[in-house]
Amino acid sequence: MIKREMYMNRIRPFIGTELIKVMTGIRRCGKSVMLELIKQELTESFVNPAQFISINFEDMNYAHLQTAKALHEEIIKRASNINGKVYLFFDEIQEVKDWEKCINSFRVSLDCDIYITGSNARLLSGELATYLGGRYVEFVIYPFSFAEFMELYKTITPDESIQKCFQKYLLSGGMPYLANIRYADEPSKQYLHDLFNSVQLKDIVKRNKIRDVDLLERVIAYVMANVGNTFSAASLAKFLKSEQRTVAPETILNYIKYCCDAYLFYHVKREDLQGKQLLAYNEKYYIADHGIREAVFGGNMKEINLTLENIVYLELLRRGYEVTVGRTGDKEIDFVCHKRDEKLYVQVAYLLASDETIQREFGAYDNIRDNFPKYVISLDEFDMSRNGIKHRNIRDFLLAEEWN
């Protein structure tokens, strides 16, 4: 179990408070491990594990507790035998019908500290916001960063160079369980394929009662193939029409939204940096884990520039940035990143192999006159920084504790 200190640093200030700690993210990204890390931390600060009540709602042993009433009765009964504060850990809480009501009731009626996980972004919309308005904090958990991946991969292959580790990361991605199968190629591929099927079936088809599964599969395949490319629902509808499937752009947008709700894809808006407005067309999507894309769709090395972009985008999210795609005139900037009063710009390229590529990547910043940091990230080993624009090797960028 690696410590995942980046998340623990954010969660730690809320441990022991009455705010409900909610961890969300794609299935199998390590949310259950976060609960274990929190328990470990509590135990180290002398909380008796007898005060913990833990339930994983994907475990069939707890199927009888999947309604608010049954869960409420069970927890109140178990809590009555505990001395002092009760620590509640609920994994995949979305399996419980009307779970918001009983969680809110525990908050009011018990001396407790509550931690919940879920695999759906809509966990915190609608009803929950009404019941728990302002009484929860959310932490999105992502698959392993390159730094986390390396920490584990090095325990299996201690002599591997950083370059070789990165090549492995490009194909395997960051799903934590792969370490248990020692990152072996075929088992890893099969695991990621099965994980993808389970996200598609349980978190998208079943949850949204989708009848046309064939259409959903085609939409997902198209978005996967076009990770990091701008496209519109209308262009996807046109593509499907060429495959003899007539479908309204609204239906396509709904299907993509369901995928984003299940954390399979992330949606990035485009921003006009001169007009300071968000653009409502031709948006971009990235996948939660590029290893899933390789296992299901392939092509990570063939389209390595898009894979690198995907990796950098997820790293920006991990570090707490809000990210848009920027446009100035006819030039596009891959990522415009905001965090409180901080801002930075990032261009991602595979290799700066020609003068034309160098001009295109560095020239993207020509119309931007502010003094915020501007980066060009690529796989090149030599520093080509110029005109105040910083060039970084992608591995160094991902492993740097701070960017400045």
Q: Which pLDDT score is estimated for 23?
A: 96
DSSP for 334-354 reads EEEEEETTEEEEEEE-S---S
Helix (H) or strand (E) holding 330: none
Q: Which pLDDT score is estimated for 122?
A: 85
The one-digit pLDDT tens for each residue of the chain (404 residues) are 789 999 999 999 999 999 999 999 999 999 999 999 999 999 999 999 999 999 999 999 999 999 999 999 999 999 999 999 999 999 999 999 989 889 999 999 999 999 999 999 888 776 556 777 778 999 999 999 999 999 999 999 999 999 999 999 999 999 999 999 999 999 999 999 999 999 999 999 999 999 999 999 999 999 999 999 988 888 999 999 999 999 999 999 999 999 999 999 999 998 888 766 665 567 899 999 999 999 999 999 999 999 999 999 999 999 999 999 998 888 999 999 999 989 999 999 999 999 999 999 999 999 998 999 999 999 999 999 999 999 999 999 999 999 97
90, 116 Cβ separation under 8 angstroms: yes
Q: How far apart are CA 297 and CA 189, in angstroms?
A: 11
Q: How far apart are CA 310 and CA 225, in angstroms?
A: 12
Q: Classify the C-alpha dihedral 72-76-79-84 as positive or negative.
A: positive
Q: Which pLDDT score is estimated for 128?
A: 58
Q: Which amino acid is at 397?
A: F
The DSSP output letter for 145 is P
Q: Which pLDDT score is estimated for 273?
A: 83
346, 332 Cβ separation under 8 angstroms: no
| Residue 3 CB neighbour total at 10 angstroms | 13
Q: Is the pTM for the entire model greater than 0.85?
A: yes
| Residue 366 CB neighbour total at 10 angstroms | 12
Q: Which amino acid is at 75?
A: I
Backbone angles phi and psi of 292, in degrees to 5: -65, -40
Q: Which pLDDT score is estimated for 279?
A: 58
Backbone angles phi and psi of 126, in degrees to 5: 60, -120
Residue 34 burial by CB count (10 A; 0-12/13-18/19+): exposed, middle or buried?
A: buried
Q: Which pLDDT score is estimated for 281?
A: 66
Q: Which pLDDT score is estimated for 277?
A: 66
